[in-house]
């Protein structure tokens, strides 16, 4: 009967309702997919830490590819795959520090031995004291120092970049950096130098009471000739700051900051301080290293830290020229005090505006907690600490 009278109106309504349900379900599915895709961390940064500088972060999917999956949330405790990826990055930094230290010292010893042998043969068997005095006073020792550390800093920085598959060009061009920042940062560095100088004096007095000296090297008799002094000055004021920044704030900071910028800032400052081989320079290098790493991450470039490092070394070199001249020393002291006061004010302003990155609970389990299980990191730290202690207590 229904076939004779035409299509069933109820059947048509059911079919229309089914089509509408299908359309709405599909539309909801598309909306959910867009929301999940929007939740994928930008630039591969899964930690959602508002205190970090996100332009500096590497793509974390290199460590944990699953973060690119829509809706994936990084767990509190890192899984084995993620832990292995982070440890590999920390190992790269640790081995570069270890072989940088070992390689530079072995190369210096062998090169010194070779030149000593050559000078002894040419001079007809002069004593070791005479040869060492000549090498120290001339440009030879200064030249050896410059050649070795250029090769070590640049070579192991390049190795670290290549090993970690990091493009070195990513740390060259600064973001949001100008002349005003450059002046501000240099004045802050003056205060850091001023404060750490008095900190070192206090530590030196404590060691003196127990019959030990933290002054383990004397550079006054190095490079006293014209050429030697010129080589030392060029190396100290230009070459060392540039190459050291490439290694410590360029490569090392980058490979240690995969999951935790705060950890990387302090870790690189420690290794930078230890590399100087004595407590007075450790004090300055450590606190200055924290600041240099901070501005490197802030501007996503080693250029700001290079400029500050060049300024500090040049400033200290010029300050040393006033030794023995009472009027010049008095003027330099007044200028230094004024600069330190201004630098302190600027540092307080800087810290209020640009605080050090904080650490989220997830990041705290991916920084020092994993780095302390890295054999080369621990080995490098212990080696350099023991080296400094041996210089102090076996002098």
Write out the two tokens for 154: 């640049």
Taking the CB of residue 7, how many other CB atoms lie within 10 A of it?
A: 10
d(CA 316, CA 294): 22
**Length of the chain, in residues:** 395
For the record, the structure tokens of 204 come out as: 């030196």
pLDDT band, residue 44 (cuts 50/70/90) = low
DSSP assigned state of 250: I
Token readout for 86 is: 């982070």
Between residues 31 and 367, which one has the greater pLDDT?
367
In the predicted structure, residue 4 carries a pLDDT above the cut 60? no
| Percent residues over pLDDT 90 in the chain | 55
More confident residue, 31 or 175: 175
Neighbours of 51 (CB within 10 A): 13
Lowest-confidence pick of 215-224, 320-329, 382-391: 215-224
pTM: 0.87
Query: Using an 8 Å Cβ cutoff, are 247 and 290 in contact?
Result: no
pLDDT given for residue 10 in this prediction:
66
Q: Distances from the Cα of 144 to the Cαs of 127, 150, 248, 301, 343, in angstroms? A: 21, 10, 21, 30, 36
CA-nearest of 212, 67, 41, 239 to 148 is 239
pLDDT of residue 42: 53
The DSSP 8-state label assigned to residue 40 in this structure reads S
State what percent of residues in the chain have pLDDT above 70.
87
Do the beta carbons of residue 306 and residue 243 sit within 8 Å?
Answer: no
Tell whether the model's pLDDT for residue 39 goes beyond 70.
Answer: no
Q: Residue 239 above 70 pLDDT? A: yes
| 38 pLDDT more than 70 | no
Instruction: Please tell me the distance from the alpha carbon of residue 3 to that of residue 147, in angstroms, as a whole number.
Output: 100
pLDDT band at 52 (very low <50, low <70, confident <90, very high): very high
Q: Whole-angstrom Cα distance, residue 226 to residue 231?
A: 9
Q: Which of 18, 105, 240, 137 is CA-nearest to residue 129?
A: 137
The rounded Cα 86 to chain-centroid distance in angstroms is 17
* Predicted local distance difference test score (pLDDT) of residue 360: 94
Q: Which of 146-150, 179-183, 323-327 has the lowest mean pLDDT?
A: 323-327
Find the largest Cα–Cα distance for the chain. Answer: 129
pLDDT 10s digits, 339-366: 999 999 999 999 999 999 999 999 999 9
């Amino acid at each position: 009967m229904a076939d004779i009278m035409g299509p069933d109106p109820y059947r048509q309504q059911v079919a229309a309702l089914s089509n509408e349900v299908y359309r709405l379900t599909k539309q909801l599915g598309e909306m959910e997919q867009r929301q999940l895709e929007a939740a994928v961390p930008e630039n591969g940064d899964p930690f959602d830490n508002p205190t970090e500088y996100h332009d500096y972060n590497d793509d974390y999917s290199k460590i944990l590819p699953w973060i690119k999956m829509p809706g994936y949330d990084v767990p509190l405790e890192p899984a084995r795959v993620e832990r292995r990826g982070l440890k590999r990055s920390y190992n790269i930094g640790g081995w570069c520090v270890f072989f940088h230290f070992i390689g530079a010292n072995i190369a210096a010893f062998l090169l010194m031995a070779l030149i000593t042998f050559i000078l002894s043969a040419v001079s007809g068997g002069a004593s070791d004291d005479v040869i060492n005095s000549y090498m120290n006073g001339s440009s030879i020792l200064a030249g050896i120092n410059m050649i070795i550390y250029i090769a070590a800093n640049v070579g192991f920085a390049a190795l670290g970049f290549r090993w970690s598959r990091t493009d070195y060009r990513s740390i060259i061009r600064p973001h949001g950096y100008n002349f005003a920042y450059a002046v501000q940062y240099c004045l802050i560095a003056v205060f850091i130098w001023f404060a750490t100088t008095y900190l070192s004096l206090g530590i030196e007095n404590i060691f003196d009471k127990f019959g030990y000296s933290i002054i383990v090297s004397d550079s006054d008799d190095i490079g006293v000739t014209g050429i030697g002094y010129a080589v030392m000055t060029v190396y100290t004021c230009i070459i060392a700051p540039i190459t050291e920044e490439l290694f410590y704030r360029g490569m090392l900071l980058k490979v240690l900051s995969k999951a935790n910028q705060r950890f990387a800032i302090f870790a690189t400052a420690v290794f930078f301080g230890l590399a100087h081989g004595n407590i007075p320079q450790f004090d300055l290098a450590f606190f200055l290293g924290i600041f240099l790493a901070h501005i490197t991450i802030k501007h996503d470039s080693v250029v700001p830290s290079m400029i500050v490092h060049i300024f500090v070394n040049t400033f200290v070199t010029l300050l040393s020229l006033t030794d023995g001249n009472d009027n010049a020393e008095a003027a330099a002291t007044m200028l230094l005090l004024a600069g330190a006061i201004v630098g302190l004010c600027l540092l307080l302003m800087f810290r209020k505006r640009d605080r050090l990155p904080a650490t989220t609970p997830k990041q705290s389990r991916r920084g020092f907690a994993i780095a302390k299980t890295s054999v080369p990191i621990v080995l490098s730290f212990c080696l350099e600490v023991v080296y400094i202690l041996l210089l102090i207590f076996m002098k």
